[in-house]
Amino acid sequence: MTDLSAVKTALKSQEIETPSWGYGNSGTRFKVFAQPGVPRDPFEKLDDAAQVHAATGVAPLVSLHIPWDAVDDYAELAAHAKERGLRLGAINANTFQEDDYKLGSVTHPDPKVRRKAVDHLLECVDIMDATGSRDLKLWFADGTNYPGQDDITARQERLAEALSEVYARLGEDQRMVLEYKLFEPAFYTTDVPDWGTSYAHCLKLGPRAKVVVDTGHHAPGTNIEFIVAFLLREGRLGAFDFNSRFYADDDLMVGSADPFQLFRILHEVAKNGGFEKEQEVAFMLDQCHNIEAKIPAVIRSVMNVQEATAKALLVDLDALRAAQAAGDVLGANAVLMDAYNTDVRPLLREVREEQGLDPDPLAAYAATGWQDHIVATRVGGTQAGWGA
Ligand code: PSV
Ligand code: MN
Ligand code: MN
């Protein structure tokens, strides 16, 4: 039998990190749709994130993307976060939006471009020092479009060199988390295309280098929960970038396209101790809300993670293990499906009430009047960064 009070305690202590860029305008490569009331600067993005945290109670961290969130004084930004009950989370580096990076950043054939890219990564560590952030989050758009364009192994060598210079700069409590992505924007080779490449680089770097699993970055049909289980066993799962996809890297609300997959992933997290603080797994969202209202979309996403987490925590592990040990294929599967098919919404309402929160976060947000306030007072909001 699952211990319900332990499930509730775990749900109350969960921390979901929301992305600053989820609050800004975004779109596809064809069109950025401007919404009224979106933040004009990183301070206002934090004000919106504070609304999500106030409504849900489990979203106290916000990741920044540099230079989208560049400010003169990062300590002031951290203080702004703190006043609102928030903390600054991962610092995402950006070496993918300048002309210099046409042929790559840290893997570029020209050492001058590599230097510029590494300097940006080092600057991001300086920012972490000022914000108190633990994680430097790296995703590289580096790759090639045509066979023969560049040397695959030379690019791996350049990548390894760059990563080791940056790793050496990290403070003792700081980590590097390395994201992989199979495709896009390069069409032929990508320099960090999969978890194996990220893991191999992390292993060489040291224990504070870990892998980021962005749920939108795999080939269709990839068994992401296997990757999660493997990395947790090795102590190398650094973070999630949660989102949903139907076709490519769609960055839709997590749990919207395939809630069962999210459950299967979080079941592996629960079973392998990934919710325990020592594992230090960051549960981040990496989403863009192109056509839907942003703050309610982030709230909905947080709720989707909570619901999948609750179901994962409800899996009767004793019954599951007994069925597995007995070779009871149908029985084991039934244990898992029982948890997945549980309606956990009443449980989550109870958890919120016990935390002194409104049981319905979306209604609670609507009742604040914040949306009308920002629409009336913010004129000329900024783009999230994509398409800028
Ligand atoms: C790349 O597709 C990515 O997933 C990386 O995490 C970037 O930093 C992020 O998207 C920006 O939205
Ligand atoms: Mn991502
Ligand atoms: Mn992505």
The enclosing domain of 205 has a CATH number of 3.20.20.150
pLDDT per position as a tens digit, 301-335 = 999 999 999 999 999 999 999 999 999 999 999 99
Proportion of the chain above pLDDT 90, given as a percent: 95
> How far away, in angstroms, is 139 Cα from ligand 2 center?
7
Least distant ligand from the CA of 216:
3
- How far is 173 from 184, CA to CA, in rounded Å? 32
- Which pLDDT value is given to residue 388? 43
Q: Whose C-alpha lies nearest to ligand 1, atom 2?
A: 249
> How far away, in angstroms, is 191 Cα from ligand 2 center?
15
Instruction: Look at residue 349 and tell me if it is in a domain.
Output: no
pLDDT per position as a tens digit, 104-117 = 999 999 999 999 99
* Predicted confidence band of residue 381 (pLDDT cuts 50, 70, 90): low
> How far away, in angstroms, is 89 Cα from ligand 3 center?
18
Residue with the bigger pLDDT between 176 and 383: it is 176
Q: Is 249 in the pocket of ligand 1 (CB under 6 A)?
A: yes
Instruction: Look at residue 373 and tell me if it is in a domain.
Output: yes
- Which pLDDT value is given to residue 384? 65
Instruction: Look at residue 339 and tell me if it is in a domain.
Output: no
Instruction: Look at residue 320 and tell me if it is in a domain.
Output: no
Q: Is the pLDDT of residue 280 over 60?
A: yes
Please give the ipTM for the structure prediction: 0.98
- How far is 339 from 307, CA to CA, in rounded Å? 11
Q: Is 191 in the pocket of ligand 1 (CB under 6 A)?
A: no
Lowest-pLDDT range, 206-220, 232-246, 326-340, 367-381? 367-381
pLDDT per position as a tens digit, 37-84 = 999 999 999 999 999 999 999 999 999 999 999 999 999 999 999 999
- How far is 185 from 202, CA to CA, in rounded Å? 23
**Degrees (nearest 5) of the Cα angle 351, 354, 356?**
115
Report whether 112 contacts 59 (CB < 8 A).
no
Q: Is the pLDDT of residue 130 over 70?
A: yes
Q: For 165-182, b where at least 16 C-beta lie within 10 A, e where not — what string?
A: bbbebbeeebbbbbbbbe
- Which pLDDT value is given to residue 379? 83
- The backbone region for 73, taken as left when phi is positive above 0, alpha when psi lies in -120 to 50, beta otherwise, is beta
Residues 160-189 have a mean pLDDT of 98
Q: Whose C-alpha lies nearest to ligand 1, atom 5?
A: 139
Q: Is 214 in the pocket of ligand 1 (CB under 6 A)?
A: yes
Instruction: Look at residue 81 and tell me if it is in a domain.
Output: yes
Residues 204-209 have a mean pLDDT of 98
Q: Ligand 1 pocket test: pick from 95, 139, 251, 298 the residue with the most ligand atoms within 8 Å of its Cβ.
A: 139
- Domains: count for the chain: 1
- How far is 337 from 347, CA to CA, in rounded Å? 18
**Which residue, 142, 53, 127, is CA-closest to 91?**
127
Q: Is the pLDDT of residue 146 over 70?
A: yes
- Which pLDDT value is given to residue 386? 54
Residues 270-294 have a mean pLDDT of 95
CB atoms within 10 A of CB 387: 15
> How far away, in angstroms, is 169 Cα from ligand 1 center?
23
Contacts of 109 (CB under 8 A, 6+ apart): 103, 150, 154
Q: Which domain holds residue 216?
A: 14-313+359-377
- Which pLDDT value is given to residue 387? 45
Q: Whose C-alpha lies nearest to ligand 1, atom 12?
A: 286
- How far is 155 from 135, CA to CA, in rounded Å? 24
Ligand 1 atom closest to the Cα of residue 243 is 4
Instruction: Look at residue 92 and tell me if it is in a domain.
Output: yes
Residues 145-161 have a mean pLDDT of 98
Q: Whose C-alpha lies nearest to ligand 1, atom 6?
A: 139
* Predicted confidence band of residue 2 (pLDDT cuts 50, 70, 90): confident
- Which pLDDT value is given to residue 1? 74
- Which pLDDT value is given to residue 385? 65
Instruction: Look at residue 7 and tell me if it is in a domain.
Output: no
Q: Is 69 in the pocket of ligand 1 (CB under 6 A)?
A: no
- How far is 281 from 45, CA to CA, in rounded Å? 24
Instruction: Look at residue 9 and tell me if it is in a domain.
Output: no
- Which pLDDT value is given to residue 276? 92
Q: Is the pLDDT of residue 277 over 90?
A: no
Mean pLDDT of all residues in the chain? 96
